[in-house]
A and B are shown apart, each in its own frame.
Chain A
Amino acid sequence: MHFPFRRRQFLAAIGATAASPLFAQASGNVVVYTSNNQQAVQSITDVARSKLANLKFNFVTGGSGVLLKRMETEMSAPQADIFWSSSANTLGAFKPLFEPYLSPEAATIPASLAEPGNLWTAANVHLVAAMINRKQLGGNPEPKVWKDLLDARWKDKIIIADPANSSTAYTILWGVKQMLGAQALRQLANNLVVTSASATVLRAVAQGEYGVGLTFESNAYAYVAGGQKEIKLLYPEDGTFSTPEFLVLAKNAPNGAVARRAFDHIISKEVQIALLENAFRRPSRGDIDVSQHAELPNLASVKVFAINETEAAAKRKEFLDEWTAAVAAKT
C-alpha cells in the first residue's frame, strides 16, 4: 500500500518547511520597520529592483511609536535592520536601540541636519500642512492661519493622529504649543478628533469625513497631484513647522553588512528622487532641485517656525502628559 508512505514523507516535508526559519529571513534579506505609506515603500523597492536586484526588502508597517516599542521588546534578539522613519523628538527616547553609522551617501546632507553621534541620519524633510477638503468645510470660511483653526466653529472637524504613536502629530502639536502657547494647545485640543493611525487622517479627509486634517505635505499632496480637485494644502501663513525625518540603523541588526547597503540605498540620489516624485517627500540631500521633480512650493516661499528638536525630544513624556490632560479636559 503506497499511500501511507507517500503521505508520511509529504507531511515531514511540510513540517520542515513550516518550521524552517527560512521563511522568516532568507539571506540577502533586509527587514525595515517603517511608518511610511506604500507609495514611499514602493519608491524604495522599485529602484532596488534595478539597482540592488539581489537584495530583498521586507517591510513591517505601523505607527512609529508602536514600531519603536516593538524594537525595544525585541532588543535581545532584534528582528529589524532599519527603522524608517521618525522625527528626533520620537527617536530620542529610544537611543539604545540604534547603531551609529555614517553612510557614504550622507555626504550631501547639510550638516545642520546631522546628529552628532550619527545615531540617525536625515532622509527627508517634512513640512507640516493642513489637508483641506473644500467640500467638507461645513460653511466655514477656508482657514488661513493657525488661529483660525483654534476657533470653536471647527470643533470635532479637525482630525489628527495620536501623538503618542505618530511623530507627525507630535511635531505639529509641539510646534503649536511653542508658537502659540499652552492655552492655544488646549483650544486646539478641543477641536481635534484623534485617530490611532496617521494613514487614517489622509483617508478621512480625502473621503470626506473631515474638513481638515493635520499632517505632512507629502502625504496630503498625493491627493492633489492625483487630481482630486476638492483637496487643497494649506501651509498656515503665520508659520508652519518643518522637521526632518530620520533613518536609523538598528543595533545588532540581524542582517549585518547587508543592512548597511540597504541604508545607503534609501538615502541614495535615485531613491530620494523617486521618493520626491512618487511620494512627494522633500529630500534631505542638497544635490536635488525640488522644483525639477514635483510641484511643491520651494522651502523659501513658506514661512517656517523653527522648533527645537532636542527640547522636543527631551520633554517628550512631559508634553504627552500635558496633551493627555488637554484632551481629557475637552469641553
Chain B
Amino acid sequence: MGPRHNRVWFWLSALVLALFCVFLLYPLFKVIASSVAASEDGRSGWLILVSDPKYRSAVINTLLLGLTVTVTSTLIGVPLAFFTARFSFPGKALIAILPMTTLIVPEVIAAQTWIMMLGNNGFLTRWLGSYDIEIPSFYGWTGLVTVMTFIYYTYVYIGTLAAIRGFDGQLEEASQSLGVPPGRTLLKVMLPVVTPAVLASAILVFTLVVGNFAVATILGHRVNLLSVLTYQSFVSEVGANPVMQSTLASVSIAIVACVLFLQRWVLSRGRFEIVQGRGTRPVGVGGARAIVLAAVAGIIVAISLLPLVTVVVGTFTRARGPVMRWGEWTTDNLMRALVAAPDPILNTLLFAGVALVLSLVISTLVGFLIVKKRSVLTPAIDYLGALPLALSGTVLGIGLAMSFRGGWLPLAGTAGIIILAYLIRRLPFGVRNASSTLYNIPDSIEDASISLGVPPLQTLFKAVLPLMVPSIAAAAVLVWTTTVAELSASLVVYSAGQETLPIQIFRLIDSNLMAQASAYGLVLLTIILLPILIATTLFKIDVFASR
C-alpha cells in the first residue's frame, strides 16, 4: 500500500470534513452571527434578551426545568436499574421492554396522550369530575415535569443498568471480606464506580430537556421556555430580521456547550479504568418484597406505556371538533388519516426512507474514516460527527433555514432540506454504531484480504462490510424510528405540502383535534413499531446495543 493510496483516504476525510462544515458548522455560525445583528429598533438581540422579562424568565425556567427533570428522572431511573440488575422478581421480564418505550413513542404523541388523559377535556379528568373530584390543571409545571420525567427516566435507567451490570462483583466480595457490611460496601465501592455513568446519563437528560420542543410547546402554556420562544420567534420573524430566533438559539447552544464542558470535566476527574468484570448474579427475592418490587416496576412500565393505549383509544373515539366523546366509537378518524388525507404518511415514509439510506451510507463511511483511516483530520470529524446530538432540533432547523434560503444552495422549499435536517440530526447514531463495530474488526482482516490479492477498495466490500451488516441493520432500525418521529427541526424547515406525520399531529393538537391527531399517531406508532418487531424477533437484532 503505497503513499498514493493513503492520499485517497485523506482527501476523502477532507471531503467529509468539508461537508460537515457546510451543512453543520455554517448554519450554526449563521445563527450565532445573526444574533448580534440589530433588530428593527436598532437594539441587538442580546440587549432585548436581557431587558425583556419574558426572555429572562424563559432562560431561568428552562434551566430550572432541566435540573428538576434530571433529578426526578435519576430518582426513578437509578433505583429501578439497581433492582433490575440485582434482584429477580416476578415480572422482571416486563422491565426489559422499557427501552422500547422511549424508542417507540414520539414525544409529541406522549404529550398529546397525557393531555387526553389529564387535560381539562381528558377522560381521567372527566371521570374524576363525575365523582366531583377536581384535579389541578395539568398544564404548566405539573405536566412538564411529569411527562418529561416519564420520557427521560429511561435514559438514566439504561445507562445505570449497563454500569451496574459491568461492575465487577469481585470488588464487592473483596470489600466484604475486609469487614465492610453489604450496604456500606455498595455505597463505598459500587457507587463511585457507577457514578460516572449515572452522571453521563443525567447530563444527557439535561440537554434533552433544554432542547425539548414537543412537550414544552404542548404542555408549557404560561411557562416561558427557551425552546418554545425560539420557535415562536422563528414563526413571527418570517420575512423579517431573524434576530430573536438567532439570539435564543444561541443561548440554547451556549447552555449545551457549557453542560458538555462540565461533563468532560466531571468524567475526566472520575475516570478509572474498569476492567469488565463479572457482574453479581441477581438475587431472587420472594414474598412480600417481591410483590412490592413487581408492583412498583409494573406501575412504572405501565405509565410509560400509557401513551400507546391512549392513542389507540383516542383513534377510535368519536369526536365533534375539539371535543372527544369518550365512550362513542368510530373508525372515521382512521379512515380519514389512511384514505382521505394520507399525504403526511407518504411524506414521512419517503423523506425518512431517503434520509435513512443516505444516513447509513454516510455514517458507515465516516465511521470507517475515523477508525481505520486515521489522519490529522480525524479528531475534527469525530467531534463534528457527534455534535448534532447536543443540538436541539429547533436550533438546527433555524440554522438550516437561514443558510439555505436562496443563495448558492436553495434547498428551502424542497424536500431536500427536510431530508438534510433528518440526516444531520441522526447521523451520530450511525457513526457511533459504525465506529464501535469497526473497532472490533481487527486490521489484520483487511491485511489478510489484501495479501490474498484483493485490492484495498474491494477488500472493504468483500471482507469488512459483510462483518458490519448486523450492526448496520441495528443502526438502521434505530435511525428509522428516531427519524420518523422527528419534529422540531422539520417543523422549522418544511413547506406547504410537505407535512410529515409528526408535523401533522402537532398541527392537529394545536387545533385541538385530538381524535384525528390520535389516528395519525397510531399510524406513526405502527411505522415505528413494525421494523423494531421484525428486527428483534425475526432477525434477532439487538437494537439497543448502540444507544
Chain A nearest CB, measured from B50 CB (Å):
18
Contact of B15 with A by CB under 8 A: no
Q: CB distance A14 to B414 under 8 Å?
A: no
Q: Which residues of chain A have C-beta atoms less than 8 A from B139's C-beta?
A: 207, 209
Q: Which residues of chain A have C-beta atoms less than 8 A from B322's C-beta?
A: 39, 202, 206, 222-223, 226
Selected interface stretch from A16-24, A100-108, A256-264 = A16-24
Chain A nearest CB, measured from B143 CB (Å):
10
Contact of A132 with B by CB under 8 A: no
Q: CB distance B121 to A228 under 8 Å?
A: yes
- Number of chain B residues whose Cβ lies closer than 8 Å to a Cβ of chain A: 46
Chain A nearest CB, measured from B171 CB (Å):
48
Q: CB distance A69 to B321 under 8 Å?
A: no
- Complex CA distance for A116 and B508, rounded to whole angstroms: 37
Q: CB distance A24 to B495 under 8 Å?
A: yes
Chain B nearest CB, measured from A62 CB (Å):
6
Chain B nearest CB, measured from A92 CB (Å):
18
Set A10, A207, A222: member contacting B321, Cβ < 8 A: A222
- Complex CA distance for A70 and B496, rounded to whole angstroms: 13
- Complex CA distance for A11 and B512, rounded to whole angstroms: 40
Q: Which residues of chain A have C-beta atoms less than 8 A from B513's C-beta?
A: 38-39
Given contacts A17-B415, A222-B323, contact A58 B496 (CB under 8 A): yes
Contact of B6 with A by CB under 8 A: no
Given contacts A66-B236, A209-B222, contact A1 B323 (CB under 8 A): no
Set B321, B357, B498, B516: member contacting A23, Cβ < 8 A: B498
- Complex CA distance for A10 and B353, rounded to whole angstroms: 12
Q: CB distance A196 to B236 under 8 Å?
A: yes
Q: CB distance B511 to A38 under 8 Å?
A: yes
Contact of A61 with B by CB under 8 A: yes
Chain B 206-232, CB within 8 Å of chain A: the 1/0 string?
000000000000000110000000001
Q: CB distance A69 to B496 under 8 Å?
A: no
Q: Which residues of chain A have C-beta atoms less than 8 A from B526's C-beta?
A: none
Contact of B443 with A by CB under 8 A: no
- Give A57-114 interface residues, CB cut-off 8 Å to B: 58-63, 66, 69-70, 72-74, 79
Q: CB distance A227 to B323 under 8 Å?
A: yes
Set A10, A61, A222: member contacting B357, Cβ < 8 A: A10
Set B323, B419, B511: member contacting A223, Cβ < 8 A: B323
Chain B nearest CB, measured from A327 CB (Å):
12
Contact of B536 with A by CB under 8 A: no
Chain B nearest CB, measured from A225 CB (Å):
6
Q: CB distance A23 to B415 under 8 Å?
A: yes
Contact of B142 with A by CB under 8 A: no
Contact of A204 with B by CB under 8 A: yes
Chain A 22-65, CB within 8 Å of chain B: the 1/0 string?
01110001010000011100000110010000001011111100
- Give A220-277 interface residues, CB cut-off 8 Å to B: 222-223, 225-228
Contact of A3 with B by CB under 8 A: yes
Interface size class of A (residues with CB under 8 A): 35 or more
- The SS class assigned to the A binding surface is helix
Contact of B340 with A by CB under 8 A: yes
Set B137, B232, B361, B414: member contacting A208, Cβ < 8 A: B137
Chain B nearest CB, measured from A137 CB (Å):
14
Q: Which residues of chain B have C-beta atoms less than 8 A from A59's C-beta?
A: 496
Q: CB distance B320 to A25 under 8 Å?
A: no
Chain B 331-347, CB within 8 Å of chain A: the 1/0 string?
00000000011000000
- Complex CA distance for A56 and B411, rounded to whole angstroms: 23
Q: CB distance A278 to B512 under 8 Å?
A: no
Set B115, B235, B497: member contacting A25, Cβ < 8 A: B497
Contact of A315 with B by CB under 8 A: no
Q: CB distance B414 to A18 under 8 Å?
A: yes
- Complex CA distance for A227 and B325, rounded to whole angstroms: 8
- Complex CA distance for A111 and B1, rounded to whole angstroms: 86
Q: CB distance B321 to A14 under 8 Å?
A: no
Q: CB distance A196 to B221 under 8 Å?
A: no
Set A1, A56, A58, A204: member contacting B461, Cβ < 8 A: A1
Given contacts A14-B358, A225-B320, contact A206 B512 (CB under 8 A): yes
Q: Which residues of chain B have C-beta atoms less than 8 A from A60's C-beta?
A: 495-496
- Complex CA distance for A236 and B121, rounded to whole angstroms: 26
A-B contact pairs, 21 of them (CB 8 A): A3-B461, A4-B461, A7-B361, A17-B415, A24-B414, A24-B497, A39-B513, A46-B340, A62-B235, A69-B239, A69-B240, A79-B413, A196-B232, A202-B322, A207-B139, A209-B139, A222-B322, A223-B323, A226-B320, A226-B323, A226-B324
Q: Which residues of A contact B (CB under 8 A)?
A: 1, 3-4, 7, 10-11, 14, 17-21, 23-25, 29, 31, 37-39, 45-46, 49, 56, 58-63, 66, 69-70, 72-74, 79, 165, 196, 199, 202-204, 206-209, 222-223, 225-228, 278-279
Given contacts A23-B414, A39-B513, 8 further A-B contacts (CB under 8 A): A20-B414, A38-B508, A58-B496, A74-B239, A203-B512, A206-B121, A223-B322, A225-B320
Q: Which residues of B contact A (CB under 8 A)?
A: 115, 119-121, 137, 139, 221-222, 232, 235-236, 238-240, 319-325, 340-341, 354, 357-358, 361, 411, 413-416, 419, 458, 461, 495-498, 507-508, 510-513, 516
